[in-house]
Structure 1
């Protein structure tokens, strides 16, 4: 009897334990569905970003000395995030005897006007938390004649740095005047120095480098090929430990055939040809009917060098008169054409670069040795003048006003105006980022309906299950037009396309041939 009771007790205990286990293990049917992580297309395409180019001295002053600084950028990341950019290009931040910084005296430190290495590291960290990358200007074609390397090299042939530079009858070679002495990239020690500098900043957390004066690095019988191979060597070096790192080369030429080969060694190359086409076809309205076809020829040339090339289009930078100051963008409809130029920039392939203040329509142009009271003799300074915040807290004052921006509305004012140029940039950046065909697509197929001022193209992107095609149509003219075309949805604009307007349509990817 005791045995039977014992067996029954064991059975009851087992049943209880089984019931409890089942009760605890009840799984909600919804919870049983495997979680699928969304694809991070920015990680898949690490070289596709929307860049904002900053001349640090002119952007934001955090300590009241009138000079923009690193902390001023950090304290205004809210603005940059609001604008929607995903990366920054900082003009030279290293110590230098000049206001512009393109003659470096120490590659491993920050200009004292701008702050410290700790400030820069903090900027990198704070930007990274917002998904904003940092690219810095790397000025390695030359150093300042005050750099310790050159000071030593100039003492004579016994200096260990003598071969760091190029000598001719005792004089150091200069591609650019003003105490900028060219480095000798036939000397292995110089290349090793540059690799160490790149490693230093990549380890700190920067995304990559803009190579200044890339076509001048090696002056030879075939400089294009020699420079391409040199940049390729640098790029292969940094990719060993930082596979997503980025090199964009500045080859200051308006003929696209000239710089196509630089896509061999570089991750990207600035598209000066596109900028010129925008100034001419959208600014001056010269032969606007050729805008898309001309760009398509350039893109096809780049594809012959690298089928997966990533372009770096821009319409303004620090070496040029401000777009809003160009004669081609003057006149009663200047604001409309500046807006169209912005929309065009933000709908073409690659990583568009926006020059700080262009989103406000800031003006500025080069002087030829003019004396400005309160400052002195100026040349390029007013191409790089203070950003117009509209409030005193961050306003820089290192350069007195020349009056060129007296009528330019400040950021504070433009934020309140839905039709402002600032809001055009902000809206277009958002649309670009929300649509993978615009943000990541490398395709550019002319629209078959192009004629006269109607200039359109198809953009396409596909990765795994993500696929999108869009038709972009720009009206490069002063007369409205009605667009009659099949589409799936309107992403921007209206079929009643106004003068200097833009229309972006999502189309069926399976029917692209019907549009091209």
Structure 2
């Protein structure tokens, strides 16, 4: 259904004589290519002074995100819940009261749309809270009509995750209809994307022999359903696996997969320096594999997210070279095919790592909380205070200060995001080929976009070594950096054509 709708759109536009004339025209042909910004609402911005981030806080700071250049927002769970993190849903049709009301959510969607910013929500359908009304009914006995809404084994509900979360029976047609109703509800609100949490666990119940096949088939059914109503909707699945081969089948079901394999490559090759000479070849192998499943694949690369320690805590990204390496990691992320995802605060170099049950005075026992620390606005009226500082961000400059520093990490992100958004070869399509002169610590790749009478080729070169190097090309235009790259610097160049840059015979 996805490919048929996409091809039909192109045919209709061509027959009507509509050809792309500007960046917004290209978007019609590439509706799922965006730059997403992941937000943990509790930590982002407080609008009412209670110390907890809320939806109105996001709405009031949409201009910040618009200026940064992002065109999509992924909201971590916003539904009524028992927990701080929100992944144990109590009611799919209600908003977490800490975050506001459904009216507040509707306002956010409308205000974001005015800025051409899409809203993606975290849809948690692998499981619910064990206090969800469905489960309270199911637990009354084997004859209860809701019993088969969940997976029971020897009388006990199966849980992929601890903490009062019980797995839904996604093979039950009644459950599928409930989920389709949830999709309809949020599509009607103007939501343009869904991040499916824990997709590899959908059929992860005892005795299941073919979970991947069933996971993919389920996502394909759901994706086909929502595409009938909203063809441009973006469904991205969380498949927490570092081996890219594990993603291949899932590309048959979802539009995209949040790519832990690419995250690991960026973390290791840039930060750790491990096999730096394999940066582009490793990426090329992944994209080639995805292309073999779907020539029109849309990748979803990222560096870190809420389930990982912050990039600033990872080996190689701290110390005297930490800032320039974080900049280079961003340069890689924001020049890759697809829809890159940025974790809130990574543009500031925020720190945050997992604790293993440490007791924090004034809060209590913590685990993942500090991976999701309050955003550093540098403005007391916006700052959230729900989580006491652990001191890890005491030396990190707040946004207010980084805006004034042209060499800050924030301004690097802003420059690269906005460059990507106005450069079709970077923003659209999934073309990625290794540059012919890639060797050792000089790692390069070509991004290319062609539509009707428009063509653009862009060369991206990363110097992962410690010595300066001069890039010997006859560039049409230097888009970023210069032809002389110092250690951990990136150059982006518009080419006159593809001749000599790649092996065009492949």
Query: Which TM-score bucket, shorter chain as reference?
Result: over 0.9
Offset of 1:168 from its aligned partner? 1.0
2:140 corresponds, among 137, 150, 155, to 155
> Following the alignment from structure 1 to structure 2, what is the Cα–Cα distance between the partners of residues 182 and 35?
48
Tell me the alpha carbon deviations over residues 275-317 of structure 1, each in whole angstroms, 9 at most, x when there is no partner: 1011111001111000100111111111111111000000010
Q: Secondary structure of 1:295's match?
A: helix
Contact 2:20/2:451 (CA < 8 Å) preserved in 1?
no
**Corresponding residue of 1:103:** 88
- Higher deviation after alignment, 370-379 or 42-51: 42-51
**Corresponding residue of 2:28:** 43
Offset of 1:223 from its aligned partner? 1.2
Tell me the alpha carbon deviations over residues 414-455 of structure 1, each in whole angstroms, 9 at most, x when there is no partner: 000000000000000011011000000311100111111100
Q: Secondary structure of 2:494's match?
A: strand
Q: Secondary structure of 1:467's match?
A: strand
**Corresponding residue of 1:93:** 78
Which has the higher Rg, Structure 1 or Structure 2?
1
- Superposed, 1:227-246 pairs within 5 Å as 227-246=215-234
> Following the alignment from structure 2 to structure 1, what is the Cα–Cα distance between the partners of residues 248 and 256?
10
Q: CA 1:275 to 1:245, structure 2 compared with 1: closer, same or farther past 3 Å? A: same
> Following the alignment from structure 1 to structure 2, what is the Cα–Cα distance between the partners of residues 76 and 510?
41
**Corresponding residue of 2:236:** 248
Q: CA 1:390 to 1:362, structure 2 compared with 1: closer, same or farther past 3 Å? A: same
1:433 corresponds, among 405, 421, 429, to 421
Contact 2:20/2:26 (CA < 8 Å) preserved in 1?
no
Tell me the alpha carbon deviations over residues 467-501 of structure 1, each in whole angstroms, 9 at most, x when there is no partner: 11111101112221111112211111111111111
Tell me the alpha carbon deviations over residues 336-356 of structure 1, each in whole angstroms, 9 at most, x when there is no partner: 100000111000101000000
Contact 2:243/2:261 (CA < 8 Å) preserved in 1?
yes
Offset of 1:508 from its aligned partner? 2.4
> Following the alignment from structure 1 to structure 2, what is the Cα–Cα distance between the partners of residues 489 and 226?
49
Tell me the alpha carbon deviations over residues 134-168 of structure 1, each in whole angstroms, 9 at most, x when there is no partner: 00000000000010000110011222110000111
Are 1:412 and 2:366 counterparts? no
Offset of 1:36 from its aligned partner? 9.3
**Corresponding residue of 1:21:** none
- Superposed, 1:160-199 pairs within 5 Å as 160-199=145-184
Offset of 1:378 from its aligned partner? 0.1
Offset of 1:222 from its aligned partner? 1.5
Contact 2:435/2:501 (CA < 8 Å) preserved in 1?
no
Q: CA 1:196 to 1:514, structure 2 compared with 1: closer, same or farther past 3 Å? A: closer
**Corresponding residue of 1:327:** 315
**Corresponding residue of 1:3:** none
> Following the alignment from structure 2 to structure 1, what is the Cα–Cα distance between the partners of residues 494 and 315?
35
1:79 corresponds, among 59, 64, 71, to 64
Offset of 1:251 from its aligned partner? 0.2
> Following the alignment from structure 2 to structure 1, what is the Cα–Cα distance between the partners of residues 371 and 502?
45
**Corresponding residue of 1:56:** 41
TM-score (norm 1): 0.92
Offset of 1:327 from its aligned partner? 2.3
**Corresponding residue of 2:291:** 303
> Following the alignment from structure 1 to structure 2, what is the Cα–Cα distance between the partners of residues 338 and 37?
35
**Corresponding residue of 1:477:** 465
Q: CA 1:410 to 1:241, structure 2 compared with 1: closer, same or farther past 3 Å? A: same
**Corresponding residue of 1:24:** none
Are 1:226 and 2:195 counterparts? no
Offset of 1:514 from its aligned partner? 5.2
> Following the alignment from structure 2 to structure 1, what is the Cα–Cα distance between the partners of residues 500 and 239?
34
Contact 1:460/1:509 (CA < 8 Å) preserved in 2?
no
Are 1:282 and 2:270 counterparts? yes
> Following the alignment from structure 2 to structure 1, what is the Cα–Cα distance between the partners of residues 186 and 19?
37
Contact 1:263/1:305 (CA < 8 Å) preserved in 2?
yes
Name stretches of at least 5 consecutive residues in structure 2 with no aligned partner.
1-17
Name stretches of at least 5 consecutive residues in structure 1 with no aligned partner.
1-33
Offset of 1:330 from its aligned partner? 2.2
Q: Across the two proteins, how many residue pairs are aligned to each other?
A: 483
> Following the alignment from structure 1 to structure 2, what is the Cα–Cα distance between the partners of residues 177 and 366?
17
Contact 1:250/1:270 (CA < 8 Å) preserved in 2?
yes
Offset of 1:466 from its aligned partner? 2.1
Q: Secondary structure of 1:382's match?
A: helix
**Corresponding residue of 1:496:** 484
> Following the alignment from structure 1 to structure 2, what is the Cα–Cα distance between the partners of residues 515 and 507?
15
**Corresponding residue of 2:189:** 204
- Higher deviation after alignment, 156-165 or 505-514: 505-514
**Corresponding residue of 1:134:** 119
1:125 corresponds, among 92, 110, 113, to 110
Q: Secondary structure of 1:342's match?
A: helix
Q: Secondary structure of 1:106's match?
A: strand
Are 1:365 and 2:353 counterparts? yes
> Following the alignment from structure 1 to structure 2, what is the Cα–Cα distance between the partners of residues 365 and 500?
25
> Following the alignment from structure 2 to structure 1, what is the Cα–Cα distance between the partners of residues 20 and 410?
37
Are 1:421 and 2:424 counterparts? no
Contact 2:19/2:25 (CA < 8 Å) preserved in 1?
no
Q: CA 1:513 to 1:424, structure 2 compared with 1: closer, same or farther past 3 Å? A: closer
**Corresponding residue of 2:329:** 341
Contact 1:285/1:477 (CA < 8 Å) preserved in 2?
no
**Corresponding residue of 1:19:** none
> Following the alignment from structure 2 to structure 1, what is the Cα–Cα distance between the partners of residues 476 and 503?
13
Q: Secondary structure of 2:455's match?
A: strand
